[in-house]
Amino acid sequence: MNVRPLGDRILIKRVEEVEKTRGGLFIPDSAKERPLEGNVIAVGSGKRLEDGTLVKLDVKVGDVILFGKYTGTEIKVDGIDHVIVREDEVLGIIEK
C-alpha cells in the first residue's frame, strides 16, 4: 500500500530500538521508550500560505529526523508502524 501525505505532513518509519543494554541485559517491551528518530518515507507537496503560494518542505525522502515523543498520528502501513507528523513538529534533521 502506498501512502502519500497531504500538505505539510511527513510519513515516518521509526528507527528500530536497541533490544539490549550495553551490559547485555535484555529490555522488556514495557520498559522501552518510543524512539524519537525516524526515516522519512514520504512527504507532502508543501504548506500553502494564505496568499496561495506553495512552500516546499525542508525534509526529503530518506532523511533521518528527530521528532517529539508525543507528536503525530500513529498508523500501520503493510503491518509496519509509522507516524504522520506536520513539518513544524520535526525537531531536526540528523546529518551523517
pLDDT at 29: 55
Type of residue at 82: H
CA-based angle 86:89:90, to the nearest 5?
Answer: 100
Q: pLDDT grade, residue 84 (50/70/90)?
A: very high
| CATH code for residues 9-94 | 2.30.33.40
* Extents of the domains making up the chain: 9-94
pLDDT at 22: 63
For the cut 90, the answer to whether the pLDDT of residue 77 exceeds it is no
Q: Tell me the CA distances in angstroms from 25 to 17, 20, 29, 30, 63, one per residue in order.
A: 14, 5, 13, 14, 31
pLDDT digits (tens, 9 = 90+) for 5-46: 999 999 999 887 656 556 666 666 555 556 588 999 999 999
